[in-house]
Structure formats: C-alpha cells, structure tokens
Amino acid sequence: MSQAWLPLITLATSLLVAPLILLLPERAWRARAALNLSAALLKLLLVGLMVVGLYQGREFAFGFTVVPGVEFLLRVDALGMMFAGLSSLLWLATTVYAIGYLEDSPNRKRFFAFFSLCVASTIGISLAGNLFTFLLFYELLTLSTYPLVVHRGHPAGLAAGTVYLRYTLSGGLVLLLGVVGLHALVGDVTFGEREMLRDLDPSYHPLLIGLFLVMLLGLGVKAALVPLHGWLPRAMVAPAPVSALLHAVAVVKAGAFGIVRLVYDVYGIQLTFELGLLTVLTVLSVFTILYGSIRALAQQELKPRLAYSTISQVSYIVLGISLFGPFGTIAGLAHLMHQGLMKVTLFYCAGNYAEELGIHRIDELDGAGRRMPLTSLAFTVGALGMIGLPPVAGFISKWYLGLGAVQAGMPWVIGVLVASSLLNAAYFLPILHRLWFRAGPAHGKGQWPEERCLGRFETSGWLLWPSLATALFSLLAGLLAGLPFSPLDLATLVATEEYLP
C-alpha cells in the first residue's frame, strides 16, 4: 500500500507546497523559508527511501486511467531515480541559495511558488512511467519556468522570456505530434516495454525513424542541441538560482533525460542502433559539443560563457548514450548527474560574485580569489571538473566516454573529447588565472564594481554553503566514484539493466 503511494507523496511534497506558499503573506519570509526547506528535506528523504528500496529490488508504482487507452503512471526505476535524486538534492541546495539570493527583493512569494512547481515537474518527469505522463510534466515544466525566467520583470528579461516560450512551446508541440503518432501506432507507450516497438513489422521502420526524429526535434529544444539552443544564452538574464536550476537539473536536463528515455525505454538501444539513429545522435552531439565550446570562448561575460559551456556539456550526455555499448551508457548517465553538480556550483559562484562584488564580466574577476577564497575554490573545482581533470567528477564521465567510444568502434570520438577538453581549458583556465594569479581590488588595485558585505564570511552564508556543498559533492563523486550509491554506481546499475536482459 505505502509503496504505491510513495511516488505520489514525493510528487506532492513539492506540488502542494506551491499553493501553500501562495497563501502565505509576502512578508512571512521565515515561514516560507521553513516550509520550503522542510519540503525539500522531506523530498530528499523520500527519494532516498525509494533509492534504497530500488537497490533491494522493490517495485513502486502508482497509476490510474485518464481516458480508456491513456494512463497516468508514476513508477520508480533506476534511471528515473538518478534524475529524481539529482533534482531533489539540488533543489535543497538551490532553495537555500535562493532564500539568500532573493533577500529583500520583491515578489518572492510568486518566485518560490513557481519554483516549487518547477521542481514538482522535474520530479514528475523523472517518475513518469509512460510517455503520456512524461509529456504532461514536460509541458508543465515549460510553463512553470517562464515566470522564473522573467522574474525581474525588466524588458531584457521579458524579451528573453518570449524567446524562451517560443522555443519551448514549439518544441513541445512537435514532441506532442511525435507522441501522438507513436500512440496511434502502438497505443499507450509504457517505459521499459521495448518489445512493443521491436516486434513491429520492419515495414514500419521508416515511420519509426521519422517519429524518432520528430520527437528528437521536440526534446532537442530543451536539451539545447545546436541549432535549437538559441534560447539558452538569452535566458541568462534570469536570477542566478534560476539559471543554476535551469542548467543543472530542470529544463536542459529534462530535455536530455527525455532523449535518454526515448532511446532506452521507448525504442530500446538495440532498435535505435539497428535503425541507425545512434549515428544521428553522435553527429549531432559532437557538433554541439564543439560548437558550444567555441562560442563559449568568445563570451566576455561570466554567465553567457557558462551558458554556452552548458550547451556543450549537456551534449556529452547525448554523446554517451549514442555510443552503443554499456560504457557509453554509463558515461552518459553518470554525466547527467556530474554535469548537474558541477554546473550548479559554477552558477552559484557566478551568482556570489555578482551579489557580493557586482561582478558580471570576466575581466572584473581579477584577484577575486583573495576577496572570496571559498567561492573561488568552489568555482575552481567546478571548472576543473568541466575540463575533465581528475579527481573531479567530470574526469569519470570523460573516462567512460572514451571507453564507450572505443567499445562502439568509434575511436575518433576520443579526438573530439580531447579537443573539447582543450577548448574547455581555453575558456575556463583564463578565469581561474584571473581569480588566483592576478592582482585586483583585493590587492589595492582598482575597485570592485559594486561591493556589498553580505555576511560574516566572504558573503552571505546562505549563498556560500550551497556553493561549497555542491563543489564538495562534485569532488567526491569523482574521488570516490568506486563507492556504492555514487553516480557512477547508479549509472552502472542502469546500464546493467539495459544490456543484460
């Protein structure tokens, strides 16, 4: 009994918080913070329970029929749990961060309500047991993130919001077409029932290829695959916690996760491989990886550079799943978590620099390592991880990607990885150099753009601790990758399920 309800309760923790927050008055920030934090903690606990249950081989599922032939289904599987674990962990961190970040700013009630809705959607996406449920939450995510993107309400934000809506809504529409097409072909598509499409007559294969490409197009918008990435750098005008969440778990990851579901649980890796669709994914992701990195090089501001870096890094996930073989799968799935941890750290740090010192441009960062050593340390960890240097988590992803490439018989992909590492180094190392090796305002040379002393430490504790915690997690995910319950271990579990019938 309780097992069936567990996914539902998990979903409800964040879904029900939204109206409660709206009921609270704007000034009751303590109550709101307490509500937010307790919901986040509760959800982390519930997800933890489900992960442990999953390792013990228990089944959690909840479902009802909406209309005949269409079912709403929440179900726990290893793949979904990875994503749910990531989003609940980062939700907690980001809630803490957002409370500190939005201190004394207007419309906090609206912000946190939609923030909860947004996280509820990601949890829904991760727990969705069939394509219909997935689509439902996928669209809910689009709508609930819009108010966050335009939160500040200035013209640039509104314009970015419009671009965001255009891209995501049309992407959602295209996805809907694909899902409807698939539904018409085989009925309700439950994740994991791969024989449904596999057993179809080969004469349907061209149709299947077409539907796959249509759905890929729809999902590719959120996953920011080039050339569908245009909204992401524009959405940088959002407040730092939103950018962090957008890049690390919510929107971008939802797209990538959707592609993972599409390949593994709808079509099945075998069928995708036989239809030659993995090559499409490889080419697309390789192009995105290189393009994103090259564009990142040209950015003069911190957040846009991180945004282009996200475009490049998220495609590692797609690259990983496009490499046929267990190692590629492990790489893609592990990177889903690793990238989230590292990127969220980088965005927190960018937010810290902006809040504490008013820094937005990269050339203003000179000597910031002395003024904000812990933030800069966290940023360094994140950046080194992005480059793929051990012992940060990014190295583990890169290692398995390389192994996967050889296993899939495409050693040239290693060349792409190496080139991408070099490009990552070319746009992250200059930042680190400025942070640590240049003299700046902290050494009595010039002035910070807008210095505020927000707290006892180098900045407000609400901003500092989440950054340090995620940095530590990214470090540990790499350093102790061999331990149970590490991202690598979870990814290995999924890959074993996928390849061993």
Partner 1 sequence: MTATLLLILAILWPLVLMLRSPLRLMMEQEALWRPGPRPKLLDAWWASAPLPALALALWPGETTLLLEGWLLGGVWQLDEARRPWLLFSTLLWGLAGVYARGYLIAEQQAGEAGDGETFRRLTGLALLWPLTLAGNLLLLLAEDIPSFYLGFAVMTFAAYGLVVHADNRDAHLGGRAYLIMALFGEALILGGLLWAAGSAETLTLTGLRESIVDAEQGAWMAAILWLGFGVKAGVVGLHVWLPLAHPVAPTPASAVLSGVMIKAGLVGWLSVLPLGDPAAGLEPLGRLVVVLGLVGALGAALFGITQRHPKAVLAYSSVSQMGMLTALVGIGLTDPALWPALSVAVVLFAAHHGMTKGALFLGIGISEHPPRLPAWLLWPLLVLPALSLAGALASGLASKWAFKGVLYEGGHGALVIWLSLAAVGTTLLMARALWRQWRERGHHAIPLLGTMPLAWLFAIVAATSLPLWLPVAGGVVDSPWPPPDELPGLLWPVGAGLALAGLGFYGLADITRRRRVVWRLMPGDLWWPYASLARHLGAGLKAFGDGLETRGSRLRAWLVAQEKGAMAWIDGLTRYERRFRQLAVPLMIGVAVLLLLGFWLE
Contacts with partner 1 by CB under 8 A lie at: 294, 298, 327, 370, 373, 388-391, 395-396, 398-399, 402-407, 411, 414-415, 417-419, 421-422, 425, 429, 436-437, 439, 443-444, 478-483
d(CA 389, CA 402): 14
Among candidate residues 367, 389, 363, 352, the one with its CA nearest the CA of residue 470: 352
Among candidate residues 315, 153, 150, the one with its CA nearest the CA of residue 234: 150
Cβ closest to partner 1, residue 285 vs residue 380:
380
Helix residue ranges, H only, 150-230: 155-186, 195-198, 205-222
CB of 390 to partner 1, least distance (A): 4
- H helix or E strand, kind and range, residue 64: strand 61-67
Cβ closest to partner 1, residue 12 vs residue 389:
389
CB of 403 to partner 1, least distance (A): 4
CB of 179 to partner 1, least distance (A): 26
Q: At residue 103, what are phi and psi to the nearest 5 degrees? A: -50, 130
Per DSSP, 152 falls in state T
Q: How far is CA 473 from CA 202, 309, 338, in A?
A: 46, 20, 9
Bridge-partner residues for 73, per DSSP? 63
Q: At residue 422, what are phi and psi to the nearest 5 degrees? A: -65, -45
CB of 173 to partner 1, least distance (A): 16
Q: How far is CA 227 from CA 66, 137, 209, 217, in A?
A: 36, 24, 20, 10
CB of 323 to partner 1, least distance (A): 11
CB of 447 to partner 1, least distance (A): 17
Cβ closest to partner 1, residue 165 vs residue 419:
419
Cβ closest to partner 1, residue 358 vs residue 409:
409
Cβ closest to partner 1, residue 63 vs residue 391:
391
Bridge-partner residues for 361, per DSSP? 301
Cβ closest to partner 1, residue 43 vs residue 295:
295
CB of 343 to partner 1, least distance (A): 21
Cβ closest to partner 1, residue 156 vs residue 480:
480
Cβ closest to partner 1, residue 373 vs residue 455:
373
Neighbours of 76 (CB within 10 A): 25
Cβ closest to partner 1, residue 338 vs residue 398:
398
Q: For the chain, percent helix, then strand, then coil, each to nearest 5? A: 75, 5, 20
Among candidate residues 140, 392, 335, 105, the one with its CA nearest the CA of residue 250: 140
Cβ closest to partner 1, residue 226 vs residue 246:
226
Task: Report the relative pairing of strands 70-75 and 61-67 from DSSP bridges.
Answer: antiparallel
CB of 402 to partner 1, least distance (A): 3
CB of 161 to partner 1, least distance (A): 17
Q: Is 130 helix (H, G, I), strand (E, B) or coil?
A: strand
DSSP states along 386-424: HHT-TTSHHHHHHHHHHHHHHHTT-THHHHHHHHHHHHH
CB of 432 to partner 1, least distance (A): 9
Residue 306 and residue 283 in contact, taking contact as beta carbons nearer than 8 Å = no
